[in-house]
Amino acid sequence: MLRLVVRRLLQLIPTLLGLSVLLFLWLNRLPGGPASAILGERATEAEVARINRALGLDQPVYVQYGRFLKRIFELDLGTSVQTGQPVWDEFAVRFPATVELSLMAMAIAIAVGIPLGYLAAKRRGGWLDVAAVSGSLVGICIPVFFLALILKGIFAVNLGIFPSYGRFTTGIDATSVTGFAVLDGILTGEFDASWDAIMHLVLPAVTLASIPLAVIVRMTRASVLEVLGEDYVRTAESKGLQKRVVRARHVLRNAMLPVITAVGLLTGSLLSGAVLTESVFSFNGIGNFIRTAIDARDYPVLVGFIMFIAMVYVLINLLVDLAYSLIDPRVRVH
């Protein structure tokens, strides 16, 4: 297992280097250059020249790339134009909120999607199968921001069951330890704050889970249908094994490999694609921060975000590979 981890990590280095080259080239092809992107369209030539000197953009390209790569390896993502604070510090404050939201959304998608996809496959052609396929199609097609507004209007505004914005109710005195609101409430014994944080997570998490849920349902259904037709499943059933054993050892275990791939990719997309959801619910996560950075043309934040999300994707892919090897030991030899 250790050899597999080391091999995968070594394979990921060229990926990050390639991404850094593409990102660097993109930044240097911005209209007017990065300086104009920071200062805006009305910047004077003197201001542009000053920023170019400050950022080292008046140096040869290979020198610029070397400095760019050095800052990335040192985790120096620059300073935010909006706040004047280091980009890494801004991410460290806001990223736990997005992780908390994404994990809850993915937990909902997995807890509902895998059982529903399995039952739909077992009852192929029945009402549950039709409902699951139709519902997953709606979940994929409906825009996230539109679903967010519907859920917010019904369950927050009209019924008043859930809060409509933020991470905490005004007046809640929550102690921050890790930055994860639910976990902090448990660690400090402030269970009211923890419950309040959960209530604030429900609507945005359900909104964010809509597309992953639909994908997982369809992926699980298709994978289970394929496995059910395999000879080893029919052999296991003909031997008189209990249905519970056949489902756990032969059907679900073999059907989970493509589902794990989908879960890994979807988790990465949740972390990077929570912009609309966090904006609708005024959720103080990294997605909402990126939206304001785009509006303000905050170049260092956008660069840091792209590289940060790339590293997250890399780590998620590593976890997917490890999950593969645990479910199917044959993967370890490749």
More confident residue, 217 or 245: 217
Report the range out of 16-20, 205-209, 239-243 with the highest average pLDDT: 205-209
More confident residue, 141 or 171: 141
If we measure between CA atoms, which residue out of 27, 35, 38 comes closest to residue 61? 27
pLDDT tens digits along 233-254: 667 666 666 666 667 666 777 7
More confident residue, 271 or 123: 123
If we measure between CA atoms, which residue out of 36, 188, 210 comes closest to residue 138? 210
Start-end of H helices in 123-190: 127-141, 144-151, 181-188
- Does position 220 have pLDDT exceeding 70, yes or no? yes
- Does position 194 have pLDDT exceeding 70, yes or no? yes
| Residue written as token pair 């739909």 | 120
Collapsing DSSP states into helix, strand and coil, what is residue 173?
coil
Rounding to the nearest 10 degrees, give the CA dihedral for residues 329, 323, 304, 20.
20
Distance of alpha carbon 258 from alpha carbon 333, whole angstroms: 19
Q: How many CB atoms lie within 10 A of CB 3?
A: 8
Which residues are CB-contacts of 198 (< 8 A; sequence separation ≥ 6)? 182
Distance of alpha carbon 131 from alpha carbon 108, whole angstroms: 18
pLDDT at 164: 81
Q: How many CB atoms lie within 10 A of CB 300?
A: 20
pLDDT at 40: 64
pLDDT at 273: 63
Window from 9-13, 20-24, 204-208, 327-331 with minimum mean pLDDT: 327-331
- Does position 184 have pLDDT exceeding 70, yes or no? yes
Q: Share the mean pLDDT of the chain.
A: 78
pLDDT tens digits along 110-151: 999 888 988 888 888 888 888 888 888 888 888 888 888 888
pLDDT at 111: 92
Name the burial class of residue 239, with classes exposed (0-12), middle (13-18) and buried (19+) by CB atoms within 10 angstroms of its CB. Answer: exposed
- Does position 332 have pLDDT exceeding 60, yes or no? no
- Does position 331 have pLDDT exceeding 60, yes or no? no
pLDDT tens digits along 49-70: 777 777 677 777 778 788 878 8
The answer to whether the beta carbons of residues 51 and 39 sit under 8 Å apart is yes
pLDDT at 108: 92
Distance of alpha carbon 61 from alpha carbon 63, whole angstroms: 5
Which residues are CB-contacts of 245 (< 8 A; sequence separation ≥ 6)? 236
**For a pLDDT cut of 90, what percent of the chain falls above it?**
1
Report the range out of 77-86, 126-135, 305-314, 318-327 with the highest average pLDDT: 126-135
The answer to whether the beta carbons of residues 283 and 101 sit under 8 Å apart is yes
pLDDT at 141: 83
pLDDT at 225: 82
